[in-house]
Amino acid sequence: MTVAGRAQVAHPAVDPPGSDGLWTFVFIDMVIFLLIFLTFMGERLRNVALYSASQLRLKEGFGLANALILLTSSWMVVLAVAAARTGAARRVSRALGMALALALAFVVNKIVEYTLEVRGDATPATNSFFSYYYFITFVHLMHVIAGMSFIAYFRSRSAAHAGTALYQVSLENVGLFWHFVDVLWIFIFPLLYLVGRP
């Protein structure tokens, strides 16, 4: 075997998980969020005192809890994808069930946070900081709810389809979307709750 042949065997080409369509969607969504983040930061630079004072009204414990919840949920989805590749339907169902429960915990935590903020007179009409805060976090929450519906659907089909190639690729797409939702929050949390906090 030639040197080139040995190199090819040692380093086979590996396709990234998920389909091209899902990667395209994630890229476009990522660009949209990036533009929103840049606009927010531009407004913050023009209104530093207002944004800093408004940020202090947020409870960073909620944001941190949701970051940990989503990170753990993403880990459960990784375990589900790995189990699907071996056809272990029961482990797929269990891991997706945990991911779904954690996602529900995120939603409940966010609703509680919204409720406390509104009761404290921090609404989208309060100032531009809170307009951005509610817009960014609500759009992200809609992504979480969409991801939950995908997770629930594939959990319901795991017993019959976990060992099939189509199910595995589709579940990888769900995992890719869910990791994107997780990464978004990793950016949203410091941007809204931490950056500039004294």
Where does residue 32 rank: exposed (0-12), middle (13-18), buried (19+ CB within 10 A)? Answer: exposed
Give the whole-angstrom CA distance, residue 175 versus residue 153. Answer: 13
Beta-carbon contacts of 33 under 8 Å, excluding residues fewer than 6 positions away, are 184, 187
Give the whole-angstrom CA distance, residue 114 versus residue 31. Answer: 26
Minimum mean pLDDT range among 26-35, 147-156, 163-172, 178-187: 163-172
Domain boundaries, the chain: 58-198
Confidence of residue 107 (pLDDT cuts 50, 70, 90): very high
pLDDT tens by residue, 23-81? 888 899 999 999 999 999 999 999 999 999 999 999 999 999 999 999 999 999 999 99
At 16 the pLDDT is 64
Read off the pTM: 0.86
User: Taking the mean position of all CA atoms in its chain, how far away is CA 160?
Assistant: 27
Mean pLDDT, rounded, for 147-170: 88
Q: Looking at the domain 58-198, which fold is it?
A: Four Helix Bundle (Hemerythrin (Met), subunit A) (1.20.120)
Give the whole-angstrom CA distance, residue 191 versus residue 183. Answer: 13
